[in-house]
Amino acid sequence: MGGALAGLVILVIGDSHMSSADHLVTTLHDALTSEGASVNTYGMCATNAADWVYKVTAPCRAERHGNTGATYTKAVSPTWVLSDLVAQNRPNLVIVELADTMAGYDKPELPRAWIYDQVRQLIGRITAQHISCVWVGPTWGKPDSGYHKTVARVKEMSDFLSQIVPPCGYVDSTKFARPGEWPTVDGQHLTAAGYRKWGADIAAAIVQMRRESH
């Protein structure tokens, strides 16, 4: 199969943006697959980066492999652990979409030390396996919602992640749309149309990174 990502085995992990129908488990997975990659996607609601290192529980989850449909579990389940997923899927690229659950939108300040610790634990597990990685940052939400996802905090979180994720590449999702351009259903999660655009834009950014590295 041709495509800019042909030959890549991609493991995608993420939070609730990856955990429901019409979310990134559908749109990003499809966009990467259409570029020739072999893709395995796992999403777990409400998870921080360290929840993918040490087994805890998540309130819902989803998984999808190749061209099959996704399976959804809407019940409290044990979390997947990255080391198990790597052994199972043998990826040569890991894409991590984790930001909103760690950004402390309801807190007066960004919890930088805690975020750094979370992120570096997970990245350490990836790089120890000598696997390439890309981290996907947050997209805009609706500030006057229950999630308090303000423009300033999204920008601050995105900028901080861009500094602490190397050697992983960074996808700055704030560049894909203006604040408020992609409507949400609840202040944080996008509409189906928004997830289509976000998934396509993430995939295009990864294709671009791939081209620049070759």
Interval 26-38: pLDDT, tens: 999 999 999 999 9
What's the pLDDT score for residue 2?
A: 73
Is residue 214 pLDDT above 80, yes or no? no
Q: Is residue 94 classed exposed, middle or buried when 0-12, 13-18 and 19+ CB atoms within 10 A define those classes?
A: buried
Side-by-side strand order, sheet with 38-44? 71-73, 61-65, 38-44, 9-14, 93-97, 132-136, 169-171
Give the tens place of pLDDT for each residue, 131-147. 999 999 999 999 999 99
Tokens 């920008």 appear where? 155
Is residue 1 pLDDT above 80, yes or no? no
* Annotated domain spans of the chain: 9-212
Tokens of 9: 């085995």
Cα(170)–Cα(65) distance, integer angstroms: 24
Q: From the options 1.10.10.10, 3.40.630.30, 3.30.420.40, 3.40.50.1110, give the CATH code of 9-212.
A: 3.40.50.1110
Verdict on whether the full-model pTM lies above 0.75: yes
